[in-house]
Amino acid sequence: MALPVREQVTYWGIATAVFLVVLWYLGDVLLPFVLGGAIAYFLDPVADRLERAGLTRGAATGLIAIVAVVIFVVLALLVIPTLIRQTAELIETAPELFAQLRDFLVTRFPDIVVPDSQIRQTMDEIGQTVQSRGAELLNTVLTSLGSFINVVLLFVIVPVVAVYLLLDWDRMVAEIDRLLPRDHAPTIRKLAGEIDASMSGFLRGMGTVCVILGTYYAVALMAVGLNFGLVVGFVAGILTFIPYVGAIVGGVLAIGLALFQFWGDWLWIVLVAAIFQVGQLVEGNVLTPRLVGDSVGLHPVWLLLALSVFGSLFGFVGLLVAVPVAAALGVIARFVVRQYRASRLYRGL
């Protein structure tokens, strides 16, 4: 005999409250495990495909791990040092860039921006702040023993967690399925399937789009000789995950740097702008439709709200769980709407 609805709501409410409290107090501790779980979830279809090709689950996981190690070593040797160097140089160059912008405004708009004006002083302060705070942040990340240990632990724990979860993924899913309340198991399975379709379409699709666009922007900007092109491509690629933000931030940053570096040589400035225009055309017409699709069910405004709320409440871990929670809430909301439309309250019968 099923529990009354009121008791079921009570139990599920308690479970949700416990989850949020644990996330609140143990967010930093859970970070490696959340990242490892996300990686395992991302790579599970690859392991399943290798299994269908004839490999055992262990062999498929081992092959994926070897490929991941090779990619990480290549990135560590070729890309990461350059990325760190360019980031440090960009921070150090920020005051000079602001000074050039100030001189440009003073020269061309003397009635608006005059020497020793409030705007000029503000721009000087911004440049110095970016340099001091940015250098302080970079120095803290690179030299702090505590941060170094945390980073090392992150790079050690996350891969181990990801490998173990990937190896046992299907077994864990089957075990969770056996723990479902029998009365609601079919409904929960149906909702879980919809959540997985929504979440996997977005996470795996947008993750792939971010990697492709970030690589394209970095390579193309460095090919035209833009200073800090690798940093701009990296930033634009990561922020592509947030709708419209990656294109806006990356484009403004790249074109702004191009104006300072290539001022007067308009061909190179146009090339930089064209790189982002081509990237947006390819993303909107090829990458996103093919890799993400139209049935994800995560509206950009809903996604931005989830990222803002969970990031504010739970920090970086909140950002990681924001998309799964947003996908789950979206599916549950659509399920509630369907139930309402089938109810006597809606039909009036």
CA distance 112 to 118: 11
> Could you count the other beta carbons within 10 Å of the beta carbon of residue 52?
9
CA distance 41 to 199: 10
Record the tokens describing residue 177, joined without a space.
């399925």
CA distance 331 to 320: 18
pTM over 0.85: no
- Write down the domain spans for the chain: 28-179
pLDDT values of the chain reduced to their tens digit, one per residue, 349 residues: 456 667 777 877 888 888 778 777 776 677 778 788 888 888 888 898 998 988 888 899 999 989 988 887 887 776 667 666 666 666 666 666 666 666 666 665 554 455 565 555 665 565 556 555 555 555 554 444 444 455 556 677 888 888 899 988 888 888 888 888 877 788 888 888 888 887 777 777 778 888 888 888 888 888 888 877 788 888 888 877 776 777 788 888 888 778 777 776 778 888 888 888 888 888 877 777 777 655 455 666 777 777 788 777 777 667 777 777 787 888 888 888 888 888 777 777 6
Amino acid identity of residue 300, one-letter, is P
Record the tokens describing residue 112, joined without a space.
């608006």
